[in-house]
Structures are given as C-alpha cells and as structure tokens.
Amino acid sequence: MKLHNRVNGEELKRRMKESSEERTTISFYKYHNIRNTRLFRDHFYLLLDKLGVLGRIYVASEGVNGQISAPTPRLKELREAFDSISFFQGIRFNYAVEDDGKSFFKLTIKVRDKILADGLNDASFDVTKKGFHVNALGFNELAEDPDTIIIDMRNHYETEVGHFKNAITPDVETFRESLPIIERMLEENKDKKLLMYCTGGIRCEKASAYFRHRGFQNVFQLNGGIIEYAHEVQEQNLENKFLGKNFVFDERLGERIGHEVIAKCHQCGKACDTHVNCANDACHLLFIQCDDCAKEYENCCSGKCKDFNHLDESERKSLRKTEVFNGTRFGKGRYKAFNKEHVLDIS
C-alpha cells in the first residue's frame, strides 16, 4: 500500500515541467478536532493519490491545512472525495489566480502539532469566537472608513511584493512573531475597526479570535483571503485595492493580483517582484532577483554562492561544514540585507 512518494524529487520536477496535463491549484483549510491524526493522514493520502493529486498538506489534532494541484478533468471527483469526509463537506476551495498547473511535483502529507505555527495556547481563549467575515465588497467599504485599521497578517517577504493600500505590514518572518507585535502596535486603538487579511484566510481565523480575546471590539477578516478577493473583484467588476503580487507557497512563488511592481531586486535595486531561491543548495536563500542579476550571478544570491557552485562536489561537501551563506538555515531575504559580493574562503 503506497502511503509516501518513492520517486526522486528532481525526477518528479522534470516530469512536472515537461507535462502538458491541465491541472488546477487549490488551497484549503478546516479547523476540526481529529482524534487519530495518523490514521486520518494515511486515509487522506490514499484518497488523494488515486486522483493524481500533488501538493503539501498538514494534519494536526486541530484540523487540516493544504495546498494542492489536481488534474482539472477530475475536479468533480476531488470534490466528491472531500465530501466523503464529514467535516470537509462544503469546504471552500481557494482556486489560484494565476495558474500554469505546475505548482507542485509530489504529494506530501505530514502530521504536525498544529496546522499553523502560531505559538498560542488554544486552551486560554475561545478559538470559535472569530472576527466577522467580509467579502471583497465589504472589505473595500471598510477600507474607505477612516475608523478602520488594515492589518496584513503575513510575513515581510510576502508583503514586500504585494499588499493592500494603506495596510500596516509588520516586519516579521513568522506568523507566531507577528501576533504580539501587532497587539503592541494597536494597544491604544482597541475601539477601532480592525480589518485583517492573509493569503487564503487561515491565519485570520486564529488571529481574529485571539485579538477579540485580547479586548479588540470590532474585528473583521477577509473571507477567503487575497485569493478569493482577486476572484471577486474581477467577477463583480470592483475596485482592486491590492497592490502588486500575492506570494504563494508553491513552485510558482507568486501570482499577479495588481499590475504594479512595488518591490526591488535585492541585488541591484531595479523594480522587480520575482522571488527565487539561491541556486546554491547550501544557501537556498529566498530573495528577489531580476533577469539581469540572475544572469550575472548565475541564479545565485551572491558572488560567494556563484563561486561555490563552480567547485567540484568534494570541495563543496567539505566547505558545507564551515561556510555560512546568506540563506544558511533557510533564510528569507530583505532588500539590501545581505552581502552579494562576499568572498568564498577556500584557503
């Protein structure tokens, strides 16, 4: 019985890039008490694998959070598969805005302590007392109210390439880090209308309940997040208040929502909002790079990483033990926050 992928990742990436199969990228989440997470995980894997689903899914005792890619002709079967699980019945699918069908190359389902690392003690407050959900029209109306504070619940590398007009964008690297920072920022504005948003809605589900618990009176959250907002403004011909790109956690790394380019290449400062990972696997920094710098640095974040990639495999293996790169430990870059010219020491 197949419960895990057994094919080399690079081979799977090659197959995905060469495939002409039409696929649809979907994100979803559901908070629900799951007693036997391992049993559910294995059942869910078998259910999705037979439909050709690829993606990344987290299962915890508090629920499920996933981003997947499914063969487009089998979307009806996918919905039926979800509906065969009682607590998934009627679950909202967030369909990608820009989608080439190449967002994932394998199916991974992991059991975790939480489906979202929030650092909160759920027993200390009622997670069901969430904020008021608003659609795109409601969001736009609230955004025009001078008594409204708009809060982006995402991380710095997400907000750098795109965010709503007039939103507060905390300079944080994790959702866990953002909650106490935002609370301190808004301590004197608990009577204001707090309008929060994130990519697909999951972060706001927990954050809105937390902020209500902490004394904020009027908490609102964008239903379905930026992804659903983009679909609604297009379908309903509404003003699009989102600037730039929506960062996504798959092979695409972003989808265009607004026409503006609000970010800069981290290496030369040219207008650019294309996220990449450094081609040096010992670094793997997530950063923004324009085409010219990609050519100059051979898809690396620095001259050091470029030089490292030119070494033979034995030298690279040896230097991995001592060298520190921009993205060591999977860092996320900030504009001009890393040294693109630092030198590789091979003495």
Helix axes 37-49, 75-83, angle to 10 degrees: 160
Of 211, 19, 220, 47, nearest to 104 by C-alpha is 19
198 is catalytic: yes
Tokens read off for 141: 């109306």
- CA neighbor of 65 nearest in space, from 78, 79, 55: 55
> How many Cβ atoms from other residues are within 10 Å of residue 174's Cβ?
13
> Using CB atoms within 10 A of its CB, is residue 1 exposed (0-12), middle (13-18) or buried (19+)?
exposed
- Residue 159 CA to residue 172 CA, distance in Å, equals 10
Residue 312 makes CB contacts below 8 A (sequence gap 6+) with none
Where do we find the tokens 């050709």? 52
Distance (Å, whole) CA 3 – CA 1: 6
Per the residue annotation, which of 198, 204, 278, 301 is the catalytic one?
198
Residues 6+ apart with CB under 8 A from 281: none
Q: Say which DSSP state 183 is in.
A: H
Placement of tokens 């050519």 in the chain: 295
Tally of CA atoms within 13 A in the half-sphere of 17 that contains its CB: 8
Residue 116: CB atoms within 10 Å: 21
| Catalytic residue positions, numbered | 198
